[in-house]
Structure 1
């Protein structure tokens, strides 16, 4: 089998509370415990994950399991305390020099993120820009694509997510499901190698969930490499090549959806599925 497109090894993350002024603080790689801290929470306890090109991996687990934090560590939106993440063989957020890892400058991390699309729970669209303008922003400003080319590509992407007819609409004129589909088109416009989805339907009314999952299902069938944090069990069962169940910051169980969702081996997984599927 080829080398994985995404590889995470021993990823750990701790959040500290009760820092100066009572604010929550976070320790980055090589950081020290803040003075006056009253406690800490180890959110990730050594997570390993491999995702090969074209695979869809769904991360499942209860609230507070560390799923969203782990996803944010994959593109260095959160700085990890230990372990390492590689995308297409490149260490994310760090460089190796003299046998030691050094954190990259933010500009260099931003360059790496061009290859990693991310769709958040909230849509994060520019409210003063139309759907089309939201999609063309990244290619023009970051990738240097000519405006005419970027516009043509953006219209094609909006058509792909079923919104070509709303290209000139502003986010406030769109439903939540439509806004999320624009957000997906915006990420795809950067031509990423990997797409990360952080509970993309959790902020939607139930009747709007299906339209977003349909777009994601199409991407999966077209071979987009995806890591998806979700509570949508039907989507995981249909679209995922592998399901990873996390609890308390650790991987409890992993495997194909038919086994993990229908015949889980671990009691913790069985308890979770009994609640969400009841």
Structure 2
């Protein structure tokens, strides 16, 4: 199994994601409280922490599926969802905001495949209708991606004919079809039966080895240890600590992190 240290070192090192002092609340509930984080190009960042820590909300904000009340998020040097003028932020119109998401794709917990479309149609939908690629080009690339995630021969299958692990691998191929600079994952294995988890994680490991920039919300601690360049532990809407996996997952400096890792390890053994 190849670890994150084997990734190419020639990758552009400008930050792919830069989050500055972000606050987000739903009503009176503060979900994100002064979050700042940088993820360099070609790196993998794993967000871990208990339910309700704000991890999923954070990546939804990166993809502008949620709007922040305060702070700034940049993807590939571009401010997401807003333009800045004289130090003030102005919300973009939907079409302009969509353009700021062009470098980002997201893989959700529950696949979100179109049930009435075949696997090939699911993957080619966005390249053809959003990116305006020719059908021939989109389908050729879709077949390459299906081979990459181990699903050659499933082009004409429909989602209901696939296992959960296969659906999630199709969802990964669909996300890659728009050639994103940044790939976001929201608990990609938590809806899967345990025996199907590994095939999805292996597809993600392959992306990491190829230098795909990823931010992954996960409860798979072994995966984070194996693949992440940076592990971020969140609790109560804050980043408690972050750093290399061998530090955060093996010798964390905060009591809250230690307690969380111990609980996850006990659950794993049990």
When normalised by structure 2's length, the TM-score is 0.93
- Length, aligned pairs only: 255
Match runs of 1:66-145 below 5 Å: 66-145=54-133
What secondary structure sits across from 1:166 in the alignment? coil
What secondary structure sits across from 1:262 in the alignment? coil
1:97: Cα distance to partner?
2.3
1:109: Cα distance to partner?
1.5
Structure 2: distance between partners of 1:172 and 1:252:
41
Task: List, as ranges, runs of 4+ consecutive aligned residues in structure 1 with deviation greater than 6 Å.
Answer: none
1:99: Cα distance to partner?
3.0
Match runs of 1:241-260 below 5 Å: 241-260=229-248
Q: Which runs of 5+ in 2 are unaligned?
A: 1-11
- The structure whose Rg is larger is 1
Q: Which of 12, 19, 28 is equivalent to 2:23?
A: 12
Structure 1: distance between partners of 2:158 and 2:256:
44
Q: Residue by residue, what CA displacement relative to the aligned partner does 1:185-214 show, whole Å, maximum 9, x if unpaired?
A: 001000000000000001001010000000
Structure 2: distance between partners of 1:80 and 1:13:
5
Q: Residue by residue, what CA displacement relative to the aligned partner does 1:133-179 show, whole Å, maximum 9, x if unpaired?
A: 00000100011111111111111111110111111100000001100
1:165 aligns with 2:190: no
Q: Which of 231, 251, 254 is equivalent to 1:266?
A: 254
Partner residue in 1 for 2:166: 178
What secondary structure sits across from 1:14 in the alignment? strand
1:270: Cα distance to partner?
0.4
User: Looking at both structures, which has the greater relative contact order when contacts are Cα pairs under 8 Å and sequence separation is at least 6?
Assistant: 2
Partner residue in 2 for 1:26: none
1:114: Cα distance to partner?
2.1
1:269: Cα distance to partner?
0.2
Q: Which of 196, 215, 220 is equivalent to 1:227?
A: 215
1:2: Cα distance to partner?
4.0
Does the CA-based 8 Å contact 2:76-2:103 persist in structure 1? no
1:193 aligns with 2:193: no
Q: Residue by residue, what CA displacement relative to the aligned partner does 1:57-106 show, whole Å, maximum 9, x if unpaired?
A: 00000000000001101011000011000011110000112332101111
Q: Which runs of 5+ in 1 are unaligned?
A: 17-39
1:261: Cα distance to partner?
0.5
Does the CA-based 8 Å contact 2:79-2:100 persist in structure 1? no
